[in-house]
Amino acid sequence: MAHELSSRANGFVEMAYVGQTPWHGLGQSLTEGASIEEWKKQAGMDWSINQAKVQFQSAKGALSAFDGNQVLFRSDTKQPLSIVSDDYKIVQPGEVLEFFKDLVGNAGMVLETAGVLFGGRRFSSFTFDFKFTIFNFYSINSNYT
């Protein structure tokens, strides 16, 4: 099974964890209680999703707009992520971690892993408190949260 973790041009793997090293041996090790800001940076979730109107060039060379659609792309690499309708609600990578801020800060839960998959098309995070487990998974094309 492939891990599908995103890697940057400099070799940085967009994944962070606390505790035992994951099966794939990749990512940055953090200490329990690290801030959400540190998680964003070390998990590679410190970029944003930008959007632009979709345009295309016809066979004759004319540039046309694809009305009602947007292309989503990474702010850091400018890599395209998906084409969505104008009504699509963007969830930023860091927002996935913000979901856990109160749970980790006030409810005694432990953020265990977070990362970016498929070049930024998906984000994941995992937390537990020995009674409950929450796996938060967000996909650009379908929302699994």
pLDDT digits (tens, 9 = 90+) for 59-116: 999 999 999 999 999 999 999 999 999 999 999 998 888 887 777 777 777 889 999 9
Return the bridge partners of 74, or none.
49
The number of domains in the chain is: 2
**pLDDT reading at 57 higher than 70:** yes
Q: Is 21 within a domain?
A: yes
Residue 6 in domain = no
Range of the domain at 77: 49-85
Strand ranges across the sheet with 63-74:
49-57, 63-74, 80-85
| pLDDT, average across residues 117-138 | 72
| Whether residue 39 is found in the same domain as residue 99 | yes
- Average pLDDT over the chain reads 86
Q: Which amino acid is at 51?
A: Q
Q: Pull the structure tokens for residue 82.
A: 């998906």
